[in-house]
Amino acid sequence: MKLKKLRLENNFTQEEIAKIINKSAVAYGYYESGRNEPDLQTLIKLADLYHTTIDFIVEHEVPYLLDKSILNNEQNNLINKIINLNKEQCMLVDAYIEGLKVGQQKHNELIKKLKGE
C-alpha cells in the first residue's frame, strides 16, 4: 500500500490521518506497516483525502482494454505516466490537452487565412 508515501507527500502525521479517518494512531500505523488492512469505508476516506483512487492506494493495476501494441512509443510513455496521476493532476492534464486542441485549431485557421483559403 502507498499510505505512508501519500501521507508524507501531503505533510501529514500518522496522528492527523488517524483523526481524519476516526481511527487510533496505532491502528493507522498498522495500516501503513501492512500489519492490518483498512476496511472499505476507511479506504474511501483515504482516497477522498488524497484525491486518488483506492486502486492507486492498494497498488492494484487495472488491466487495460486498449491494445497498447497499436500505439507508438510516445503514446505508451504518456499512458504509463498518466496511470500514476491523482484525480486533480488528471484534471490539469485534461485541461492542458483541451488547450492544445484549441490552439491547434486556431493555428490551422490562421494558416488558411494567410493562404487565402
**Tens-place pLDDT, residues 22-63:** 999 999 999 999 999 999 999 999 999 999 999 989 988 766
Measured in degrees and rounded to the nearest 5, phi and psi for residue 51 equal: 55, 50
Q: How far apart are CA 16 and CA 29, in angstroms?
A: 11
Interatomic CA distance for residues 90 and 37, integer angstroms:
27
The single residue listed with the C-alpha cell 496505532 is 26
Q: CATH: 1.10.260.40, 3.40.50.1950, 1.10.8.60, 3.30.2350.10. Which one for 3-57?
A: 1.10.260.40
For 62-111, write each residue's pLDDT tens digit.
666 677 778 899 988 888 888 888 888 888 998 999 999 998 998 888 88
- Distance separating alpha carbons of residues 43 and 56, to the nearest angstrom: 11
Give the burial string for 77-102 (b: 16+ CB within 10 Å, else e): eeeeeeeeeeeeeeeeeeeeeeeeee
Separation between Cα atoms, residue 57 and residue 10, nearest integer Å:
14
Three-class DSSP category at 33 = helix
Question: What are the residue ranges spanned by the domains of the chain?
Answer: 3-57, 68-115
